[in-house]
Amino acid sequence: GWQVSMKSGSLSCILPCNRLPVQLISQVRVYTSNGQKKDLGSEDTNGSARGETMHKVETGQDSTNAGQKQSSPKQPIQVKVKAVLKKREYGPKYTQNNFITGVRAINEFCLKSSDLDQLRKIKRRSPHDDTETFTVYLRSDVEAKSLEVWGSPEALARERKRRKEAEIKYRENLFRNQRLLWEYKEFFGNTKPRSSTAAMFFKGPGKVVMVAICINGLNFFFKLLAWVYTGSASMFSEAIHSLADTCNQALLALGISQSARTPDPSHPYGFTNMRYIASLISGVGIFMMGAGLSWYHGIIGLLHPHPVESLLWAYCILAGSLVSEGATLLVAINEIRRSARAKGLSFYQYVVQSRDPSTNVVLLEDAAAVLSVAVAATCMGLTSLTGNPYYDSVGSLGVGTLLGTVSAFLIYTNTEALLGRSIEPEQLQRLTELLESDPVVRAIHDVKATDMGMSKVRFKAEVDFDGRVVTRSYLEKQDIEQLLQEIQQVKTLEELEAFMLKHGENIIDTLGAEVDRLEKDLKQRNPDVRHVDLEIL
C-alpha cells in the first residue's frame, strides 16, 4: 500500500514495494552574498503540520499477502544542499562600472587635467593598434569630482552650454582665419613644400588624369576652330566630345584630391569613395553633354541639311587629335597594366571591377575618342566624295551612340562599387581559413567582406570562441601554485565571489586580447583588409 509521511522541512514518500521503502529528502537553501541563508520548501502554517499522519489503504489486489505485513528499516537517501547566489538587481541604467578616458572626462564633465590626478587610475587594454595599454577612470569617480568642482548639476549644465557656444564661435573664427591665410598665400606666394595632395598628380592615376586634361583641352580648342571654319556636324560632335572629356577629367582630379583627405568624426572610414562619386558624375556628364549634344546636332543635320565647306583643315585637326588621344590612351593602358599586375588580375578584370575609377574613365574616354575620330573622318570623307551632307550627320549620331555606351558602362561599374560589392570568393576563402585554423576559434558564421573601393576591404564575422582554450591561455600566464593557494583559502561565500569576479574579469580581458590578435593577423597577412569587426558569438 501507499504510505505518505509529511513533516516540516522535508518530504518523505514510502513507495509501494514489498521489500524496501525509500525516503526522499529535498531541501533548498538560498545564500546571499553576505553569508545569510534561507530555507525554502518548509511550511509552518499551523501546529498540526508538525505531527506525523499515516494513511493506510488496502487495495485487495494481492490476496495472498493481505494479512501479512513485513516491516523493514527505513534507509533515507541524502540529497546535497543546493546553494544559490542571490541575483543582484542593477536597474534599467547602471553606470557605476563604466570606464571613460581622460579626454572624455575633461570634455564632457568640464574638468581640468589637475582634477584627474586625484582620481583612481586604471590601466586597461587599448583598442588602438599603436598602443598596448592606456589609462581610464571610473565614471562614478569622474561624476563625483565634477559635482565637487561645480557644486551642482545645474552649474555643470550651464558650463557645458557656455563651452558649446565658445566652440561654435571658435570654428567660425577658424574658418575666417583660414580664408585670410589662403588670400595671404595667393598674394605673397606659397613658400611651403609641395603637399602630399599635389604630389598625387605627378604619379599614378593623378598623372594620367592631368595629361588627359591638357591634351583634351588643346583638342577642344582646335576642333572648335575647325567647326567654325567648316560647319561640319561631325566636327562639332568632336569638339563637344573633347570639351566633355576635359570637364569630366577636371572633375576626376577633384575627386582624387578629395579622396586623400584624412578621416574625421563625421567620416570615420575616410573619403576614398570620392573617386567613385567623381567617376559616376563624369559618366552622367558624358551622357548628357557629349552624347546628348551629338545626337541633337546629328538629328538637326538630317532634318535641315546644309552643304559642308572645305574639309582640309578638319582632316588635319582630326589627325592631330588622333595622335594626341592615342598618346593619352597609351599612358592609361600602361598604368592599368602596371596596377593589374600588382593586384594579380588581368587587364579585363581590373577594368570591369573598376579597381581604379579615375584611370578607367580616362581609358574609356580616350578609347571612345580614338574611335569617334575614325568615325568622324570616315563620314566626312564620304560627304566630301559624294557631296551628300547626310553622311556627316550620320557620323554625328555614331559619335553620340559611342559616347552613350561609354557613359552607361561607367555609370554601371561605379554604382556597383558605391553599393559595396563583395570581394572575390578565393580571397574570402583565404580569410575564413585563416580564422578557422586558429585554435581559439570553434566556428565562424555570417561572414561578410565588402570592397570599400581602392583596394580597401572591410571584413566582418561572428566568431564562436573556445572558452577552454581562452581559459588555458589565461592560466598559462599565471602562477599556478599561487592560484592553488588562493583556491584553498576560499572559505566563505564572500571570498568565493571575490575570487570568481577577479579571475572572470581577467579571462574576459584575455578573450579581448585574442580578438585583437586575430584582427592583427588578418590585416598583416592581407594588406587589403583595413577594417575588421569580429563579433563574439
Q: Which residue has the cell 597577412?
A: 525
- What DSSP assignment string belongs to 19-80? S--EEE---EEEE-TTS-EEEES---SSGGGGS---------S-STTSS-------EEEP-P
Percent of the chain with pLDDT over 70: 78
User: pLDDT grade, residue 463 (50/70/90)?
Assistant: very high
Rounded to whole angstroms, the Cα distance separating 243 from 241 reads 5
User: pLDDT grade, residue 464 (50/70/90)?
Assistant: very high
How many C-beta atoms lie closer than 10 Å to residue 274's C-beta? 21
Residue-level pLDDT at 313: 73
- Considering the chain, tell me which residue range(s) the CATH 1.20.1510.10 domain(s) occupy: 195-419
Q: pLDDT (tens digit, 9 = 90+) per residue, 107-151?
A: 888 888 888 888 888 888 777 666 777 788 988 888 898 988 999
Contact 256, 206 (CB under 8 A): yes
Rounded to whole angstroms, the Cα distance separating 282 from 80 reads 78
Residue-level pLDDT at 186: 55
Q: Give the residue, 306 or 526, on which the prediction is more confident.
A: 526
- Considering the chain, tell me which residue range(s) the CATH 3.30.70.1350 domain(s) occupy: 425-536
User: pLDDT grade, residue 382 (50/70/90)?
Assistant: confident
**What residues are paired with 139 via a beta bridge?**
none
Least confident of 64-78, 280-294, 447-461: 64-78
Taking all residues of the chain, what is their mean pLDDT, rounded to a whole number? 77
Handedness of CA 267, 270, 271, 277 (dihedral sign): negative
Residue-level pLDDT at 471: 93
| For residue 101, pLDDT beyond 50 | yes
Q: pLDDT (tens digit, 9 = 90+) per residue, 342-356?
A: 877 888 888 887 777
> In this structure, are strands 457-465 and 441-451 parallel, antiparallel, or unpaired?
antiparallel
Kindly state the average pLDDT of the residues 222-237: 79
Q: Give the residue, 71 or 57, on which the prediction is more confident.
A: 71
Structurally, at CATH architecture level, domain 195-419 sits in Up-down Bundle (1.20)
Kindly state the average pLDDT of the residues 466-472: 92
Kindly state the average pLDDT of the residues 3-28: 43
Nearest one of 118, 115, 117 to 149, comparing CA atoms: 115
| For residue 62, pLDDT beyond 70 | no
Residue-level pLDDT at 475: 92
| For residue 533, pLDDT beyond 50 | yes
| For residue 370, pLDDT beyond 90 | no
Rounded to whole angstroms, the Cα distance separating 106 from 146 reads 10
| For residue 61, pLDDT beyond 80 | no
User: pLDDT grade, residue 32 (50/70/90)?
Assistant: very low
Alpha-carbon dihedral 401, 403, 406, 409, rounded to 10 degrees: -70
Q: Which residue has the cell 561609354?
A: 406
| For residue 248, pLDDT beyond 60 | yes
Residue-level pLDDT at 221: 87
Kindly state the average pLDDT of the residues 14-42: 45
- Considering the chain, tell me which residue range(s) the CATH 3.90.530 domain(s) occupy: 93-189
Give whole-number Cα distances, 22 to 42, 68, 70, 371, in Å.
20, 20, 15, 100
* Cα of 435 vs its chain's centroid, Å: 18
DSSP category for residue 420: -
Grid coordinates of 188: 605673397
Residue-level pLDDT at 13: 42
Phi/psi region, residue 43 (left: phi>0; alpha: psi -120 to 50; beta: rest), is beta
**End-to-end distance of the chain based on CA atoms, in angstroms?**
55
Most confident stretch, 239-253, 408-422, 471-485 = 471-485
CATH class of 425-536: alpha beta
Nearest one of 411, 397, 364, 403 to 241, comparing CA atoms: 403
Grid coordinates of 237: 560632335
CATH of domain 93-189: 3.90.530
